[in-house]
Amino acid sequence: MPKPIAKIGVNGYGVIGKRVADAITLQDDMKLVGISDIIADYRIKTAIEKGYLVFASAPEKIAEMKRSGVEVAGSLEDLLKKVDLIIDCTPAGIGAKNKPLYEKAGVKAIFQGGEKHAIVQASFVAQCNYEEALGKQFVRVVSCNTTGICRSVGAIHKKYGVKKVRIVLVRRSGDPWESKAGPINAIVPEVHIPSHQGPDAQTVLHDLNIVTAACKVPTTISHAHFVMLEPRRKLSREDLIKAFTDAPRIRLFKAADGFDGTQAIIEYHRDIGRPRSDVWELPIWEESIATTSDEAYWIMQVHQEAIVVPENVDAVRAMLELETSPNKSIAKTNHALGLVK
């Protein structure tokens, strides 16, 4: 007997939501029932052009949405009645407010990294702790930065053990679609050290000794992380390269091949035809991978718009127990989206 197809909704059709919706439609064990939002502009109209059913996340917005030409299929509550699981991609903090709705409707829900760990049963990065999400009702896919940290540091930690890791995050200040986010000409530090990304990584890699510091800079296309890691045992550069090569969703890029900055890696993904030029993998600059007698270093790029997209798909599979093996789910998602590994 064929497995039933999981019915999925996406609440919040912004930077993450629209990508997750598209990714769901590519899975053969899932079906996108519809998306829900409160906006009435080109973004939601594009959803309709794609054939997605559009629901209204706030009843009082329905009139405005209709007036602007959006065909509204119903309310968020209506959508919740039709799905097994809702992926909440609303802005930070709204997810927590939505949780009672999901509880009332009896649907499982995935939240994004803007929500607190406390509101879920597990924070999630597929290759690190897939098992923790198995069968759970509420799971949080961690933020883009935390996902990048967990994928790479997690790969070293699992294989060799990490004594301590220090990371400085140079963050983008706005997304490409935005016209108002700045700064235009400044570096804006997060003045409290350690910054929040370290503790956040510990929600996935529970025993990791990590310190992070961060700033934001005038770019829209990616974050860059500078990693300084003390391993539990001496590592060679080849050990690092092998660990990254073996791990899923990490990809090495050489500056010598022209990948001299975040913009070149994005351009490559434009060239190979990635939807929206998305970089679902974690790029690491191969030349930056270095070791000393007691330390390891690398620089990596986190595409803030895209890296969590495959994680959301895997989280669905774990929570609905469509697949109990992390590797099988990851392989399935990768195949559907077109990742090599």
Site for a copy of itself in 89-148 (CB under 8 A): none
d(CA 341, CA 249): 6
CA 202 to CA 150: how far, in whole Å? 9
Indicate whether 293 belongs to the interface with a copy of itself (CB under 8 A).
no
Distance CA 296, CA 91 (A): 36
CA dihedral defined by 120, 123, 127, 133, rounded to 10 degrees? -20
Least spacing, CB of residue 205 vs a copy of itself, in Å: 19
Q: Is 52 in the site for a copy of itself (CB under 8 A)?
A: no
Residues of this chain, 158-187, that bind a copy of itself according to CB under 8 A: 166, 168, 170, 172-174, 176-187
Q: How far apart are the first and last CA of the chain?
A: 30
* Catalytic (active site) residue 128: no
150 is a contact residue toward a copy of itself (CB under 8 A): no
- Vertex 148, ends 84 and 309: CA angle to 5°? 30
Output 325-331 pairs: Cβ under 8 A, ≥24 positions apart: 326/126, 326/127, 326/130, 326/131, 327/248, 329/126, 329/130, 330/126, 330/127, 330/130, 330/248, 330/249
Taking CB under 8 A as the rule, does residue 329 contact a copy of itself?
no
Q: How far apart are CA 316 and CA 309, in angstroms?
A: 11
Restricted to residues 29-48, the positions that interact with a copy of itself (CB under 8 A) are: 39, 41-43, 45-46
Strand-pair category, 30-37 with 6-11: parallel
Q: Write the interaction track for a copy of itself spanning residues 186-225; mark x where CB under 8 A is met and - where it is not.
A: xxxx-xxxx----------------x-x-x-xxxxxxxx-
Query: Measured from the CB atom, is 55 or 285 closer to a copy of itself?
Result: 285
Q: Is there binding between residue 238 and a copy of itself (CB under 8 A)?
A: no
Contact between 340 and a copy of itself per CB under 8 A: no
Shortest distance in whole angstroms from residue 65 CB to a copy of itself: 13
Number of residues that bind a copy of itself (CB under 8 A): 76
Looking only at residues 257 through 276 of this chain, which bind a copy of itself when binding is defined by CB under 8 A? 257-264, 266-268, 270-273, 275-276
48 vs 105 by CB, closer to a copy of itself: 48
Is residue 241 near a copy of itself by the rule CB under 8 A?
no
In the complex, minimum distance from the CB of residue 99 to a copy of itself, in angstroms, rounded to a whole number = 28
Yes or no: say if 87 and 8 are a contact pair by the CB < 8 Å rule: yes
Q: Which two tokens stand for residue 65?
A: 């949405």
- In terms of CB distance, is 159 or 276 closer to a copy of itself? 276
Establish if 63 lies at the interface with a copy of itself (CB under 8 A).
no
Catalytic residues: 144
